[in-house]
Structure 1
Amino acid sequence: MKKIKCIVVDDEPLAVSLLGNYVQKIPFLELVFSSENPIEALEFIQKNEADLVFLDIQMPELTGINFMKIVGDKMKYILTTAYSEYALEGYEHNVVDYLLKPISFDRFNKSILKAQERFPLNATKDANHFFVKSSGQQYRVNFNEILYVESIKDYVNIKTETQEYIVLETLKSLENQLPENFTRVHKSFILNVDKVKSLGLKKITLNSNHEIPIGESYKMNLLDKLK
């Protein structure tokens, strides 16, 4: 099982220590960075891979909300704060959960279970398939059976010739995790190029006769993949 790489950012040293200890107690989590300085955390993210940030909202150098605006949806967040009134604002971003201080391990663990559901590709993955959670169940999906992946607000639809899997995930987070024969062809679609039958000016026809749109800015990249 691939571990979820975690970062802890909080201006309180005790909170950094506590959350770091909690992370180390969960087998599928890996603490890759922790700091009391959000600027240092931003520098780390620019140069290193990470999946999940435990993020304090109220920090003097940079608020957690502004931190999320800078990093964007390449990361997922569990917010931590002593002030419950910030919860609604935080949920406008790519936030998994909200932890109110002081944080017990039991509450932390419940939050992590929520986070685990948001990383469907971190469940056993190899060169041929991965497992995704859809409608409350885990499904094995073979890469070579996927036609395309479509973004539907906070979800994606993984479409095969016989099934559809609606998964709580963002298209951007899947893009770098799929094999090389998958490529973005539209702001809302990732395509398995092995399934392409023909390419038109504004649409792609697949071997299954499904049709999906193609964005002009993605066309040259697709042509390179098809070569």
Structure 2
Amino acid sequence: MTIRCLIIDDEFLARQLLEGYIQKVPFLELVGQCESAFEAMQILQDEKIDLMFLDVNMPELSGINFIRTLKHKPEIIITTAYSEHALEGYQLDVMEYLLKPIYFERFMQAINKVRDMICMKAKAREVERKDDIAEVSRISKGEDYLFIKTGTQMIVKVYLNDILYIESLHEYVRIWLRDESHTIYHSLKSLLEFLPGNQFIQIHRSSIVNFHKVEAIEGNCVKINGQSISIGKNYRDEFLNRVKSKSIGIQPGKPSPRGNDEPGDIPAAE
């Protein structure tokens, strides 16, 4: 597999450094270099680009604003001397964030992460969306399982009670069971519509959990099978109300008689 790369940085030395790194990696191919986002637009129209190395602070159009203009984005690694843009990059589904000066070891960590994601997507595309979940509508009729297609020739039955949580991976989802997981080409939102609401609840923009499998709540995380899953601010109230409805002696924000919250108390939602 070859990953076709594009460098976008207004600094010559920064472009030269990345070019040297790319040349050392056999599965990377440098398609072009640009000094501005405007130059990159034409290359993205004419060439198949799998990965962009994108600087943030560039004249006329910043790297962050450039990402917002892209309808179909390749994988993106931000390269910058400023750490304050990390959160914005995460919100825009940037794969990695490299702070300058960039060392080769850190560069390879980011590249391996990108390669894993590209490989996973390539495998998932072999399965058409309409075949990813067969008979999924049966869930709404009281069935306790669904069929998912895990490969070109394999369809497996997954019982809802065996699902621990479901994780969004951009346009894919990974269904986590106790001892294995299945990755399918499907959106988290559309999958949630078919799952029984009394059992499954979304707690983050990228996570659905099986409420029956929640073992503990600690701060802004739930614990399931040894994993910590974050509770998003926009989903916190609904989740805590569900917890309260299944609890004894827990009231959001109510202090204990000693003046301190008991270990089991749930803090009021922010």
- The reply to whether TM is greater than 0.5 is yes
- 133, 152, 160: which one aligns with 1:143: 152
The count of aligned residue pairs is 157
CA root-mean-square deviation:
3.5
* 2:100 counterpart letter in structure 1: K
1:154-169 matched pairs, under 5 angstroms: 154=170, 156-157=172-173, 165-166=182-183
1:12-31 matched pairs, under 5 angstroms: 12-31=11-30
Determine if contact 1:80/1:101 at 8 Å carries over to the other structure: yes
Determine if contact 2:5/2:30 at 8 Å carries over to the other structure: yes
Partners of 2:48 and 2:90 lie apart in 1 by 23
Matched residue, 1:215:
none
Matched residue, 1:92:
91
The answer to whether residue 61 in structure 2 is matched with residue 62 in structure 1 is yes
SS at match of 2:57: coil
1:112-131 matched pairs, under 5 angstroms: 112-121=111-120
Partners of 2:62 and 2:96 lie apart in 1 by 17
Determine if contact 1:151/1:171 at 8 Å carries over to the other structure: no
| Cα distance per residue 1:76-129 (max 9 Å; x no partner) | 11001111111111111121110111111111111111111211258799x99x
Partners of 1:83 and 1:153 lie apart in 2 by 27
Which structure 1 segments of 5+ residues have no match? 129-140, 173-186, 190-227
Partners of 2:38 and 2:108 lie apart in 1 by 27
Shift of 1:73: 4.7
Partners of 1:15 and 1:112 lie apart in 2 by 17
Q: Given the superposition, is the C-alpha separation of residues 188 and 5 from structure 1 closer, same or farther in structure 2, using an over 3 Å criterion?
A: farther
Matched residue, 1:111:
110
Partners of 2:169 and 2:108 lie apart in 1 by 27
Calculate the TM-score normalised by the size of structure 1: 0.58
- Larger Rg over CA atoms: 2
Shift of 1:21: 1.1
SS at match of 1:53: strand
Determine if contact 1:4/1:122 at 8 Å carries over to the other structure: no
Shift of 1:59: 0.3
Calculate the TM-score normalised by the size of structure 2: 0.49
* 1:143 counterpart letter in structure 2: T
Shift of 1:3: 0.6
Shift of 1:38: 1.5
Partners of 1:43 and 1:28 lie apart in 2 by 24
Q: Given the superposition, is the C-alpha separation of residues 44 and 28 from structure 1 closer, same or farther in structure 2, using an over 3 Å criterion?
A: same
* 2:93 counterpart letter in structure 1: N
Q: Given the superposition, is the C-alpha separation of residues 76 and 123 from structure 1 closer, same or farther in structure 2, using an over 3 Å criterion?
A: closer
Partners of 1:23 and 1:122 lie apart in 2 by 22
The answer to whether residue 38 in structure 2 is matched with residue 39 in structure 1 is yes
Partners of 1:20 and 1:33 lie apart in 2 by 10
Shift of 1:16: 0.7
The answer to whether residue 101 in structure 2 is matched with residue 102 in structure 1 is yes
Determine if contact 2:52/2:76 at 8 Å carries over to the other structure: yes
SS at match of 1:34: strand
Determine if contact 1:73/1:94 at 8 Å carries over to the other structure: no
Structure number with greater CO (CA < 8 Å, separation at least 6) is: 1
Which structure 2 segments of 5+ residues have no match? 128-149, 157-165, 192-270
Shift of 1:67: 1.1
Instruction: Choose between structure 1 and 2: higher strand proportion.
Output: 1
| Cα distance per residue 1:131-155 (max 9 Å; x no partner) | xxxxxxxxxx6424469xx994636
Identity of paired residues, percent? 42
SS at match of 2:91: coil
Q: Given the superposition, is the C-alpha separation of residues 15 and 146 from structure 1 closer, same or farther in structure 2, using an over 3 Å criterion?
A: farther
